[in-house]
């Protein structure tokens, strides 16, 4: 199949902007719990009326400090309540938000603020202020800087107390669906980041479509309160889409700034979301932590058996949903029921206990991992999208989830596969273009169609599978074209592997560099009675090399011999954003990695 269209369920409102819903909800149901906010270690409910009042007061303060309609204001922070507050206050007065990853370097920050001509900036803490300060002499447009951890909200609210409500509402009424809501910079894996111009209409259409199609799965059970804990970075379009959809869809929203398990798991237990939205990395971490605990408790055999049962159970359920099988056998249902209390309920408890559904995006998720979670009682809907498509363009439907694919086009969206295999998208969520970069815009947009740069194919039911990036295709010296992503993802399925990069451009064969997951390796050493080893000694451990070789062999089963990984090298340290080897969204910077590890790559090809 070359093209598939899903009929629309929603349309962008003909008037107004993103902030209107805050005021509408407060008027319709002022006592409804809209958000959860963590204060002094405890979660506190925020009603729709309270949130409206906070947004209005902050909007006044922004006006008092000179922020005007159309101004661009940057936010550099982790995911926290104040980000959402600033987003909606800025949208209330027609300002445009420029999100900045909190881990961005000074030069990255400079480029985004300079390119977007940012006039004011909100940062989280003193380190961020110092980052801005180091480049401020090259930012002539920047006039204001507020620091969240230095009472920025209180300062702004106090400054705006003299401004009448109607002044804010005049600004709000001037916002139209075509007004620019945000300029989100791409991760810049192959060059300088480009600013994606996304309108209020783009966000409203995207959020309302997802709510209309997937709202039933937001609940743990019929009739209960829909809640989600947002721990994705709000600097990323996925996180921003979750924020907007939660506010518009009346889903209670909480924020968690730390992705590490020590901070995240207690908040999942306390906030008890009914569904979550995450990247595959999170689900991998939950699974690997559960497996490590089982091994520590001497119950690895039963756990692995439970995994096999869950995978087989949901594979049978999937076949039944598509009319290609009868569903699980009586014996498989009995086995599944046995492991419900022993294993599956404990996996769900690690996510707060109420989660029954989740959405995954940002990168590909292994089919087997998806089947396991579904069999364990958490159905994950994998989707696909870009910053340029305001997050999701495709997603798996609740009633017919096909693991290993990124689903069908979301309602109102068309997916087209070009002659060279590139995925093209068409829909009302497609962005307006790149800020100040008509050449790049013309290369990406073709009469409303977005050329994604991703390669993929549609099956007979309209489900999309992503197979790689056009720019990342490796061509060996023998002329063989290889897409590295599926090999890398399969190697990463091994619990000891943190990252994998496949190399081989203009080389005689394919090879790989592999980094290690420190928590899993520590557990692996302990369970085998091995002493702790230095990174240099660890990568030479023959037993560890054997484990990693198993991961490589498993990956090679996906491809032909000519495309397979012939050899690999284990590295002592992970690729990091700090060293310029990852983007803020944790994508590999391939050229930078190959340059940094040039000697290691060369060694892979020595006779």
Torsion from C-alpha of 375, 378, 381, 385, nearest 10 degrees: -130
For the stretch 451-454, contacts whose Cβ atoms lie closer than 8 Å and that sit 24 or more positions apart, written own/partner, are 451/418, 451/422, 451/424, 452/386, 452/388, 452/389, 452/422, 452/423, 452/424, 452/425, 453/422, 454/384, 454/386, 454/422, 454/423
Average of per-residue pLDDT across 419-445:
97
pLDDT value of position 295: 93
pLDDT value of position 259: 80
Are the beta carbons of 203 and 193 closer than 8 angstroms? no
Rounded Cα gap, residues 174 and 197, in angstroms: 19
Unique residue bearing structure tokens 């740069």: 453
pLDDT digits (tens, 9 = 90+) for 498-542: 999 999 999 999 999 999 999 999 999 999 898 888 888 898 999
Are the beta carbons of 434 and 440 closer than 8 angstroms? yes
pLDDT value of position 191: 67
Are the beta carbons of 412 and 8 closer than 8 angstroms? yes
Rounded Cα gap, residues 406 and 360, in angstroms: 9
Query: Confidence band (pLDDT; 50, 70, 90) for 268?
Result: very high
pLDDT value of position 56: 98
Q: Coil, helix or strand for 495?
A: coil
pLDDT digits (tens, 9 = 90+) for 273-331: 999 999 898 899 899 999 999 999 999 999 999 999 999 999 999 999 999 999 999 99
Scanning 412-456, the segments in alpha helix (DSSP H) are 438-444
pLDDT value of position 126: 97
pLDDT digits (tens, 9 = 90+) for 162-213: 999 999 999 999 999 999 999 999 976 556 889 999 999 999 999 999 999 9
Q: In 3-state terms, the chain is what percent helix, strand and coil (to 5)? A: 45, 20, 35
Average of per-residue pLDDT across 356-366:
91
Average of per-residue pLDDT across 412-438:
97
User: Ramachandran region of residue 510, left (φ > 0), alpha (ψ -120 to 50) or beta?
Assistant: beta
Is it the case that residue 135 has pLDDT exceeding 90?
A: yes
- Distance (Å) of CA 571 to CA 220, 275, 285, 438, 501: 42, 37, 21, 41, 11
Beta bridge partners of 455: 422, 468
Cα four-point dihedral sign 65, 246, 275, 459: negative
**How far apart, in Å, do the first and last CA atoms of the chain sit?**
45
Rounded Cα gap, residues 338 and 39, in angstroms: 41
The beta strand positions in 480-576, using DSSP E, are 481-482, 497-503, 510-516, 565-570
What domains, with CATH codes, occur in the chain? 19-174+225-271 (3.40.50.12780), 275-469 (3.40.50.12780), 473-604 (3.30.300.30)
Tokens for 309, please give them.
């049962």
Unique residue bearing structure tokens 């159309």: 70
Residues 6+ apart with CB under 8 A from 318: 371, 401, 402, 403
Residue 591: closest CA among 280, 290, 190, 263: 190
pLDDT value of position 188: 64
Rounded Cα gap, residues 588 and 599, in angstroms: 18
pLDDT value of position 190: 58
Rounded Cα gap, residues 153 and 54, in angstroms: 9
Per residue, the 3-state secondary structure of 287-351, as one string, reads HHHHHHHHHHCCCHHHHHHHHHHHHHHHHHHHHHHCCCCCCCCHHHHHHHHHHHHHHHHHHHHCC
Per residue, the 3-state secondary structure of 337-397, as one string, reads HHHHHHHHHHHHHCCCCCCCEEEECCCCCCHHHHHHHHHCCCEEEEEEEEHHHCEEEEECC
Maximum separation of any 2 CA atoms in the chain, in Å? 77
Residue 428: closest CA among 249, 236, 212, 200: 200
Rounded Cα gap, residues 63 and 195, in angstroms: 25
Are the beta carbons of 232 and 214 closer than 8 angstroms? no
Is it the case that residue 62 has pLDDT exceeding 60?
A: yes
Unique residue bearing structure tokens 């980052």: 131
Residue 453: closest CA among 439, 470, 466: 470
pLDDT value of position 167: 97
- Distance (Å) of CA 308 to CA 280, 326, 336, 582: 20, 19, 10, 34
Residues 6+ apart with CB under 8 A from 247: 21, 22, 25, 34, 84, 88, 253
What is the chain's alpha carbon radius of gyration, rounded to the nearest angstrom?
Answer: 24
Cα four-point dihedral sign 368, 374, 377, 381: positive
Residues, the chain: 607
Tokens for 554, please give them.
């498993």
Are the beta carbons of 464 and 407 closer than 8 angstroms? yes
Are the beta carbons of 96 and 71 closer than 8 angstroms? yes
Residue 524: closest CA among 545, 495, 549: 495
**Torsion angles phi and psi, residue 129, rounded to 5:** -60, -40
Are the beta carbons of 102 and 76 closer than 8 angstroms? yes
Is it the case that residue 409 has pLDDT exceeding 90?
A: yes
Are the beta carbons of 3 and 415 closer than 8 angstroms? yes
pLDDT digits (tens, 9 = 90+) for 13-22: 889 999 999 9
Q: Check: pTM over 0.75? Answer yes or no.
A: yes
Mean pLDDT across the chain, nearest whole number? Answer: 94
The beta strand positions in 62-119, using DSSP E, are 72-76, 96-100
């Amino acid at each position: 199949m070359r093209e598939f269209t899903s009929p629309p369920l929603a349309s962008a409102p003909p008037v107004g902007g993103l902030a209107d819903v805050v005021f509408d909800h407060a008027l319709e149901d002022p006592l409804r719990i809209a958000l959860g906010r963590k204060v002094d270690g405890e979660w506190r409910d925020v009603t729709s009326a309270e949130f409206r009042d906070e947004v209005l007061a902050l909007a006044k303060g922004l006006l008092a400090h000179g922020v005007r309609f159309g101004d661009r204001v940057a936010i550099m922070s982790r995911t926290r309540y104040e980000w959402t507050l600033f987003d909606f206050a800025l949208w209330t007065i027609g300002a445009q938000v420029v999100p900045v990853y909190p881990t961005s370097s000074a030069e990255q920050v400079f480029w985004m603020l300079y390119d977007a001509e940012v006039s004011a900036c909100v940062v989280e803490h003193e380190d961020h202020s110092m980052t801005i300060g180091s480049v401020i002499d090259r930012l002539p447009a920047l006039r204001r800087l507020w620091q969240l951890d230095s009472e920025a909200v209180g300062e702004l609210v106090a400054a705006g107390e003299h401004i009448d409500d109607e002044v804010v509402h005049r600004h709000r009424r001037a916002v139209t669906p075509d007004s620019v809501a945000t300029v989100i910079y791409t991760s810049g894996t192959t060059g300088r980041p480009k600013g994606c111009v996304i309108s209020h209409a783009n966000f409203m259409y995207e959020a309302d479509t997802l709510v209309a199609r997937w709202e039933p799965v937001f609940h743990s059970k019929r009739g209960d309160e829909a809640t989600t804990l947002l721990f994705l970075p709000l600097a990323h379009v996925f996180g921003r889409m979750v924020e907007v959809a939660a506010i518009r869809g009346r889903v209670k929203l909480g924020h968690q700034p730390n992705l590490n398990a020590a901070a995240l798991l207690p908040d999942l237990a306390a906030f008890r979301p009914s569904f979550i939205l995450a990247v595959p990395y999170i689900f991998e971490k939950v699974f690997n932590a559960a497996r490590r605990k089982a091994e520590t408790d001497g119950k690895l055999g039963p756990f692995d058996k439970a995994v096999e049962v869950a995978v087989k159970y949901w594979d049978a359920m999937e076949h039944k949903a598509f009319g290609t099988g009868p569903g699980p056998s009586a014996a498989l249902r009995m086995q599944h029921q046995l492991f419900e209390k022993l294993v599956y309920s404990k996996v769900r408890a690690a996510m707060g206990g109420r989660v029954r559904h989740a959405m995954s995006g940002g990168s590909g998720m292994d089919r087997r991992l998806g089947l396991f979670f579904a069999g364990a009682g958490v159905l994950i809907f994998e989707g696909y999208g870009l910053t340029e498509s305001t997050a999701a363009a495709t997603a798996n439907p609740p009633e017919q989830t096909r693991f290993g694919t990124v689903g069908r086009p979301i309602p109102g969206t068309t997916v087209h596969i070009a002659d060279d295999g590139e995925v093209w998208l068409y829909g009302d969520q497609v962005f307006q273009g790149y800020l100040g970069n008509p050449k790049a815009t013309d290369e990406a947009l073709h009469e409303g169609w977005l050329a994604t740069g991703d390669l993929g194919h549609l099956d007979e039911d309209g489900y999309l599978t992503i197979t790689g990036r056009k720019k990342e295709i490796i061509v060996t010296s023998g002329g063989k074209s290889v897409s590295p992503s599926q090999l890398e993802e399969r190697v990463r399925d091994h619990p000891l592997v943190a990252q994998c990069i496949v190399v081989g451009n203009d080389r005689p064969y394919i090879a790989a560099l592999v980094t290690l997951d420190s928590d899993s390796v520590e557990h692996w050493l302990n369970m085998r009675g091995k002493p702790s080893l230095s990174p240099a000694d660890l990568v030479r451990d023959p037993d560890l090399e054997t484990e990693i070789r198993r991961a490589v062999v498993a990956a090679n089963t996906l491809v032909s011999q000519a495309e397979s990984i012939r050899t690999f090298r284990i590295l002592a340290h992970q690729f990091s954003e700090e060293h310029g080897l990852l983007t803020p969204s944790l994508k590999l910077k391939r050229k930078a990695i190959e340059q940094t590890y040039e000697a290691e790559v060369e060694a892979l090809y020595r006779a």
